[in-house]
A and B are shown apart, each in its own frame.
Chain A
Amino acid sequence: MLLHAVFARATANFFGNTGPTGQRAMAAMAEKYGARVSDGLAPEVAAASVAQGSAVADHILAWSQGDGGAVVENMGFPLAFTPDTRPGHWKPTSTIAQQQAPLLPGWGSNRPFAMPAADACGLPPPPAYSEEKGSQFYAEAFETYEAVRNLTPEQTAIARFWSDDPMLSTTPPGHWMQIALALLEDEDAPAARRAEVMARLGITVADAFIACWQAKYEYDLIRPVTYIKKVIDKNWEPLLITPPFPEYPSGHSTQSGAAATVLTAIWGPDFAFADGSHEDDGLPERAFPSFWAAADEAGISRLYGGIHFRAAIEQGLEQGRCVGAYAVALKMGAQA
């Protein structure tokens, strides 16, 4: 009952801005599960449990209000933004009016959970911007260009599988949470283990976004679609929708590196699993020999999709490894 009270409070907080259907669903779920967990409980025990659960939730939520990310307005897009017009800097890539400004440019200033600071997992700079054919930057852009032009069916399937578009899917962190939830369900894990796994994972994906966004706006790098159309082939189109924010590092790579680090610490380095997160969307299950194999595939999927250069993927995965280690080091449960 205590846990139920926590979840009811937290759900209402996190999804409070949802529409009438979500409000109705949250009320129906709270009522349905509340009835189930209170069945057979003495009324005074139920009431005390709800009170304590609500107090715990309120305490944590109050703490969260000061982390810098409690309020997101205009779907995360600043109402006004002036792009850096120098060569190599990010420029809007979409014809959506709202996305003429990049998503959440201040997210890298948020208070992290386990990392000591947003730049605790800093990155080397990306290859120096250049439009010269012999340059490393051109070579990486050409690699992305050629990859998209010559995609195999398997590479296309990989790009689609890890696309995880915001507002059209559970998103990259949500994808990893789906993986963890499925594994916990498979082993019929007790509540304490579920709580620990989801806490470590939740903490690390939150930190991963902070670290990644700090770096994205530090380097403010141009997206492949902008560069390739200007320098290589004006008719080229990426496979995936280019996300509306700077390129370096790859967010999905940082996310996946962090998640793989945490899940490897929990289930081991050679834990094979199958991921059916997108079966509802008609994308078949994919099997992986380890969490890092999945993370590597998530990373390279962004090159196949034409939305990242290789450096952003490789450095993003390494950044994620660094971020994940902080969540792994947290003392929880019996360790605490």
Chain B
Amino acid sequence: MRAVAVVAFLAGPAVAADMPPVPSFTEETASAGIDSTYTGEWEYMVGGGAAAFDCSGDGFPDLFLAAGEGKSGLWRNASARGGALRFEKVESGLELDHVTGAYPVDIDSDGIMDLVVLRVGENLVMKGEGQCRFTPANTAWGFDGGDAWSTAFAATWEKGDAWPTLAVGNYIDRTQDAFPWGSCTPNWLHRPNAEDNGFAPPVALKPSYCALSMLFTDWNLSGTPSLRVSNDREYYKGGQEQMWKVLPGQPPALYTKVEGWKYLRIWGMGIASADVTGDGYPDYFLTSMADNKLQTLAPPLKEGKPVPGFADVAFARGVTAHRPYAGGDVRPSTAWHAQFEDVNNDGLADLFVAKGNVSNMPDFAANDPNNLLLQDAEGKFHEVGDKAGVASMAVSRGGALTDFNLDGLVDLVVVNRHSPAQIWRNTTTGAGHWLELKPSQAGANPDAVGGWIEVRTGDRVQRRELTVGGGHASGMTGWWHAGLGAADSADVRVIWPDGQAGDWQPVAADGFYRLERSKAAQDWTP
């Protein structure tokens, strides 16, 4: 019956040929058991993150929500598979104040997810102890949490290291109340110590330009990710968007104009990445105020290799998302968290963007609905936030799209400033087929951060880079989702972080698979 429904949905005459199927989301904030508000004034005008990851070991993503000046908290996912979303707040050790955001990453590679907590003040690395309990590990791991206004994060494993490299982005010098412009404080690169069992003192990434999002990403498929940094032009002097070469054993170095880097100044607030163009390379959506950017590698190649210059194709592809599309407020938008996920399982990455005024700025929209932009077969995007039911007018910041109830449909949580976080269940009927995949490898970097998942249906290959970072103060890990459209099976493989490609393995659609290195794909049932 499901297969029949899929075919009918994808080929149905009720939908225009170029319009992707519109998903349906049902808000379950009131019944889901989540009650968290991102609070605080000036020092919390940015941030407001969510972290979605499994801390209980049952496979369902649990949820950490930043609460700014209030106490942040952890909610264990108690949803039944395919059922309504339900969470239970648990004592976890993450009841922390002054939190702006958080990113899950298994720092000590023990198979239990840890959490990096960004704060106004000292950042914390919280070691996962299992069963959703966490303990501070700054001292044990030699992590210098500093004392800054931290607003961005990314992580990678550099080649040969057992311990990850963490990048922390910092914002304004918060002691400069009368004239903070030009006071951007240094970002930090926390690399492994000489013993490779903890962190060395952080290196300042100078110059720094008030980062609001960072992402380690292998933009040129070289096998070594670089660090993209999106910066808020409101506060820097002489700044721009940045990308750092982070080569093992060498000091970080910025890509330069001579190498092809193109000067861009935006109110950078969030980074989302996906291979939108289908050329195998990641593309980047950068959130800002008014127009947002969708960057793809700009030709020409130099000696057959890509140069670090990007062209903005947001206008051509319909993802500028510069103004509210509903609610009647026509002033420019303010965009924060962004994430590509296939919300209708048609095999094409769609885009969610959280929107909300910085703080009663009259030149920008007050009623600024979140966006849900569906990608069509020609690579153009169509706004359906209101039709899909996610056009919240709350002042949104961070968020996460992940499958909370493990039914193969990507759900949504959004953190709001001064109002409660909202959660939606994806209740689309007759969506396409799907897969959810979880790579793992023995030893360091068990979740294969820096690797790629490839899903092949027919002659088309979807590629997904496994990253830690990006978005706006929000991170997620766990099952990586792929829509398959009408295909009822696919071949999957992992390109591991060391560059080795696993074998293609056939899998049936609509299932969960553990992709353990050098082993056959293992079917998993919640």
Q: Which residues of A contact B (CB under 8 A)?
A: 16-21, 24-25, 28-29, 32, 73-75, 79, 95-98, 167-168, 280-282
Stretch of B139-147, B248-256, B308-316, B408-416 on the interface side: B308-316
- Interchain CB contact under 8 A, B237 and A280: yes
CB-defined interface of B320-340 with A at 8 Å, one 1/0 digit per residue? Answer: 101100000011100000000
Closest B residue to A278 by beta carbon equals B238
- Kindly provide the distance from the CB of B360 to the nearest chain A CB, expressed in whole angstroms: 8
Name the contact of B363 in the complex, choosing from A75, A95, A168 (C-beta under 8 A).
A75
Contact B312 A75 (CB under 8 A): no
Instruction: Give CA–CA (A25, B179) in the complex, Å.
Output: 6
> How far is it, in angstroms, between the C-alpha of A282 and the C-alpha of B362 when the chains are bound?
32
A97-B291, A97-B315, A97-B322 in contact; A74/B331 too (CB < 8 A)? Answer: yes
Known A-B contacts A17-B361, A17-B362, A29-B178; the reply to A98 vs B233 at CB < 8 A is no
The answer to whether B178 and A28 touch across the interface, beta carbons within 8 angstroms, is yes
Which residues on A sit within 8 Å (CB–CB) of B315? Answer: 95-97
Which of A75, A96, A282 gathers the greatest number of chain B CB atoms within 10 Å?
A96
CA gap between A75 and B290 in the complex, in Å: 9
- Bound together, the chains give a CA A74 to CA B315 distance in angstroms of 18
Query: In the complex, which residues of chain B have a beta carbon less than 8 angstroms from the beta carbon of A167?
Result: 233
Kindly state the separation between the CA atoms of A168 and B265 in the bound complex, as whole angstroms: 8
Q: State whether the Cβ of B378 lies closer than 8 Å to any Cβ in chain A.
A: no
Question: Is A75 within 8 A of B332, CB to CB?
Answer: yes
Q: Is the CB of B42 within 8 A of A24?
A: yes
Q: What 1/0 flags go to B151-181 for Cβ under 8 Å of A?
A: 0000000000000000000001000011111
> Is A20 in contact with B314, judged by CB distance below 8 angstroms?
no
Find chain A residues with CB under 8 A from B45 CB. Answer: 19-21
Q: When A75-B290, A96-B320 are in contact, do A19 and B361 touch as well, CB less than 8 Å?
A: yes
Question: With A20-B42, A95-B316 in contact, do A168 and B361 touch (Cβ < 8 Å)?
Answer: no
Minimum CB–CB distance from A95 to chain B (whole Å) comes to 4
Q: A21-B235, A281-B237 are in contact. Are A98 and B332 (CB under 8 A)?
A: yes
A29 to B291, CA, bound (A): 32
Q: Which residues of B contact A98 (CB under 8 A)?
A: 290-291, 320, 322-323, 332
Q: Assuming the A-B contacts A74-B331, A98-B322, A282-B238, are A19 and B359 also in contact, with contact meaning beta carbons closer than 8 angstroms in the complex?
A: yes
Q: Which residues of B have CB within 8 Å of A24?
A: 42, 177
- CB of B33 closer than 8 Å to a CB of A: no
Residue of B nearest to A18 (CB): B361
Chain A contacts for B279, CB-based, 8 A: none
Question: Which of B180, B290, B316, B363 is close to A25, meaning CB atoms less than 8 Å apart?
Answer: B180
Q: How far is the CB of A318 from chain B (nearest CB, A)?
A: 33
Bound CA–CA A279/B508 (angstroms) = 61
- Complex CA gap A301/B1 in Å reads 69
Q: Give, as a whole number of angstroms, the nearest-CB distance from B125 to chain A.
A: 29
Once A19-B45, A21-B180, A28-B177 are accepted as A-B contacts, the answer to whether A96 and B291 lie under 8 Å apart by CB is yes
